[in-house]
Amino acid sequence: MTATITKPETFLPPDLMDGLDDPTPFEELEAVDEGANKTGELLLIFESGDLERTWATTILASSAAASGQQVSIFFTFWGFFPLVKKGVRITGENWMQKMLSFMNRPGIDHAKLSRLNFMGMGPWMMKKLAKRYGVAEPGELLEMAQALGVRLIPCQMSMDLMGLKREDLIDGLEEPAGAATVLQMIADGATPLFI
């Protein structure tokens, strides 16, 4: 059985119908799309520090870097605590900063869920499920992202505000920077995501 495709006569104005016989515009479009987004940098502005968003950030960063895209993560405010290295429990100089780290345990392995946290029961179960289904934890994904050349930029203001010192943080970070740096990267064409 052969099917004949006939061009409808009435749905579109005649000037738009003219190009429909010619398949080349579609091929050209595809060719342009293919390489369009390869070179653009991805900028993840990580502010929340929540476990599920830490996951999203590290998955996006490692996947994009694995595909050859340049990726930077800017760590700010609550998103800063996952950069504190293992074994560092209380950070800060004065009692307010110390209280902050006491109430909000630093380290990427101690991020809390934004919902259903239940004093840590939620994250514990989520990580148990992750293990069962072969999903890597955020800490492992961050290490892989670093191995793939993802740049980790700490926010200078957050460091000062929370009293975090360079020796409290994981290795391999870029020089701390501020809002102007982030805005400049966006102006230069990086795709920004605020997570």
Partner 1 sequence: MSTTAIAQRVDARGLSCPLPIVRTAIAIKALNAGDLIEVLATDPGSTKDFTAWAKTTGHELIEQSVDDGVFRFVLKRK
Please report, as ranges, the residues that interact with partner 1 according to CB under 8 A: 34, 38, 59, 62-63, 65-68, 133-136, 141, 144, 147-148
Which amino acid, 50?
Answer: D
Comparing CB distances to partner 1, the nearer of 129 and 179 is: 129
- Nearest approach, Cβ of residue 142 and partner 1 (Å): 11
Q: Specify the residue for token string 């209380």.
A: 90
Comparing CB distances to partner 1, the nearer of 83 and 141 is: 141
Comparing CB distances to partner 1, the nearer of 132 and 166 is: 132
* Cα–Cα distance for residue pair 110/83, rounded to 1 Å: 11
Comparing CB distances to partner 1, the nearer of 38 and 166 is: 38
* Cα–Cα distance for residue pair 79/92, rounded to 1 Å: 16
| Residue pair 156/169 in contact by the 8 Å Cβ criterion | no
- Nearest approach, Cβ of residue 129 and partner 1 (Å): 11
* Cα–Cα distance for residue pair 168/117, rounded to 1 Å: 26
- Nearest approach, Cβ of residue 108 and partner 1 (Å): 17
Residue spans of alpha helices (H) in 11-120: 14-17, 24-36, 51-66, 95-103
Comparing CB distances to partner 1, the nearer of 148 and 186 is: 148
- Nearest approach, Cβ of residue 127 and partner 1 (Å): 13
- Nearest approach, Cβ of residue 166 and partner 1 (Å): 27
Which pair of structure tokens corresponds to residue 79? 């998103």
